[in-house]
């Protein structure tokens, strides 16, 4: 079992590493960049023999994250997403990257029958969870905002080498449930292009473990315990060239009159998902899919998730149920998953 938690600032998936990674003259050197981006702490760590190559790869990656954030953020007035929202009902010319993320978001919305829906923006704004404007809206406000959530009204196309997106009148895109994953995939590809063979891309706990660890072994990723302080994990996933993403109700929420309102919204009710799950992790080669799917599984709850996962055996997930803290994993995770919290019970989904 690894002995040191190197990175545990933000959350959901924690990169664990043995102290010995950095010792000894023959060990590869490492380089790191850390910055507040995408509303969270972004930390990129790379290992290799050529320090100059590592530094260049990291600088290019941080610049790329800044560029992609400027296209995809709802908090930046000039972003493509803000332009799409400000011009709802009309076609807007966007970058190919924006169209690609929106297309992937729609694909995941279709796959999850709308449990994940990138047109959730009107509800996200109304509730304001995670902002200083957070409040419990009235039923009529929720109904009005909910009526605007429908991914089937998003329209995308390409013409003359240009990309276009339109949302229905009054609709609002919010890519907060998928864009970090999509950006992690881009950074994974960029680092590989630059010759990096071993890296941890950590976008606020949305992790891509690139290649093998510098010891030539699998990475160890800890899953944040949903009911314990940050950095305390309940399980460890072995990962090689794979992403692990977690959604939980314990990161962004506010409390009013003793009720907790968290940031994962159920498009069918317009309210924070009344899920019996308290944490969902998805393990996937594609971080964008993992990001969208863990949000969707959280909304679905345990029973619907179990049916969904049986129908999609290619998706690997770890579900934690509230109350008794039972942990459920998909069958293919058996060989690379270790439950480290002895008080929790493990069940393998059929």
303 phi and psi angles, rounded to 5 deg: -65, -45
Of 33 and 304, which CB lies nearer to Mg ion in the complex structure? 304
Residues that bind Mg ion (CB under 5 A): 177, 291, 295
Least distance (Å) between residue 264 CB and ligand FAD: 5
Of 122 and 295, which CB lies nearer to Mg ion in the complex structure? 295
Nearest residue to Mg ion on Cβ basis: 295
Least distance (Å) between residue 159 CB and ligand FAD: 26
Least distance (Å) between residue 181 CB and ligand FAD: 8
Nearest residue to ligand FAD on Cβ basis: 39
CB within 8 A of 46, min separation 6: which ones? 30, 31, 32, 54, 57, 58, 191, 196, 198, 199
Q: Which does 80 bind (CB under 5 to 8 A by kind): Mg ion, ligand FAD, none?
A: none
Q: Which does 38 bind (CB under 5 to 8 A by kind): ligand FAD, Mg ion, none?
A: ligand FAD
Residues that bind ligand FAD (CB under 6 A): 38-39, 69, 72-73, 75, 116-118, 120, 124, 130, 174-177, 179-180, 206, 247, 251-252, 263-265, 267, 291, 295, 299
Of 171 and 295, which CB lies nearer to Mg ion in the complex structure? 295
**Tokens 């994990």 -> residue:** 233
Least distance (Å) between residue 60 CB and Mg ion: 25
Of 16 and 175, which CB lies nearer to ligand FAD in the complex structure? 175
- Strands 92-94 and 162-166 turn out to be antiparallel
Of 123 and 166, which CB lies nearer to ligand FAD in the complex structure? 123
Q: Which does 117 bind (CB under 5 to 8 A by kind): ligand FAD, Mg ion, none?
A: ligand FAD
Q: 266-277 burial string, b = 16+ CB within 10 Å, else e?
A: bbeebbbbebeb
Radius of gyration over alpha carbons of the chain, in Å? 20
Least distance (Å) between residue 181 CB and Mg ion: 7
H/E stretch holding 222: strand 219-224
Q: Which does 289 bind (CB under 5 to 8 A by kind): ligand FAD, Mg ion, none?
A: none
Of 85 and 206, which CB lies nearer to ligand FAD in the complex structure? 206
- Strands 277-284 and 155-159 turn out to be unpaired
- Residue 62, token pair as written in the block: 């941080």
Least distance (Å) between residue 334 CB and ligand FAD: 25
Of 45 and 80, which CB lies nearer to ligand FAD in the complex structure? 80
Rounded Cα–Cα distance for residues 139 and 4 (Å): 48
- Residue 259, token pair as written in the block: 């009720």
For 134: left if phi > 0, alpha if psi spans -120 to 50, otherwise beta; the answer is beta
Q: Which does 179 bind (CB under 5 to 8 A by kind): Mg ion, ligand FAD, none?
A: ligand FAD
DSSP characters over 294-312: HHHHHHHHHHHHHHHHHH-
Q: Which does 251 bind (CB under 5 to 8 A by kind): ligand FAD, Mg ion, none?
A: ligand FAD
CB within 8 A of 81, min separation 6: which ones? 71, 72, 73, 74, 98, 173, 174, 175
Least distance (Å) between residue 90 CB and Mg ion: 28
Least distance (Å) between residue 48 CB and Mg ion: 30
Closest C-alpha among 198, 205, 220, 211 to residue 46: 198
Of 54 and 102, which CB lies nearer to ligand FAD in the complex structure? 102
């Amino acid at each position: 079992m690894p002995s040191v938690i190197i990175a545990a600032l933000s959350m959901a998936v924690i990169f664990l590493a043995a102290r010995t990674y950095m010792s000894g003259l023959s060990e590869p050197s490492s380089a790191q960049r850390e910055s507040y981006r995408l509303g969270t702490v972004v930390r990129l760590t790379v290992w290799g023999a050529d320090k100059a190559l590592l530094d260049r790869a990291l600088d290019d990656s941080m610049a790329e994250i800044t560029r992609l954030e400027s296209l995809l953020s709802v908090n930046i007035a000039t972003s493509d997403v803000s332009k799409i929202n400000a011009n709802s009902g009309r076609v807007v010319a966007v970058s190919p990257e924006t169209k690609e993320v929106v297309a992937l978001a729609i694909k995941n919305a279709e796959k999850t029958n709308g449990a994940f829906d990138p047109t959730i923006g009107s509800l996200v704004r109304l509730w304001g969870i995670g902002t200083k404007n957070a409040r419990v809206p009235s039923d009529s406000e929720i109904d009005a905002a909910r009526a605007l959530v429908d991914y089937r009204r998003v329209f995308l196309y390409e013409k003359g080498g240009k990309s276009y997106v339109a949302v229905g009148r009054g609709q609002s895109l919010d890519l907060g449930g998928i864009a970090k994953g999509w950006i992690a995939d881009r950074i994974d590809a960029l680092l590989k292009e630059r010759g990096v063979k071993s890296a941890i891309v950590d976008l606020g706990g949305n992790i891509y473990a690139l290649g093998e660890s510098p010891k030539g072994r699998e990475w160890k990723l800890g899953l944040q315990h949903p009911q314990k302080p940050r950095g305390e994990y309940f399980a460890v996933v072995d990962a090689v060239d794979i992403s692990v993403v977690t959604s939980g109700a314990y990161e962004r929420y506010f409390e009013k009159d003793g009720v907790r309102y968290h940031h994962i919204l159920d498009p069918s009710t317009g309210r924070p998902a009344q899920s019996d799950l308290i944490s969902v992790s998805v393990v996937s080669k594609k971080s964008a899919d993992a990001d969208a799917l863990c949000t969707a599984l959280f909304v679905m709850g345990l029973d619907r998730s179990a049916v969904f996962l049986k129908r999609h055996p290619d998706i690997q997930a770890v579900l934690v149920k509230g109350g008794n803290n039972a942990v459920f994993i998909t069958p293919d995770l058996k060989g690379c998953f270790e439950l480290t919290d002895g008080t929790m019970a493990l069940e393998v989904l059929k």
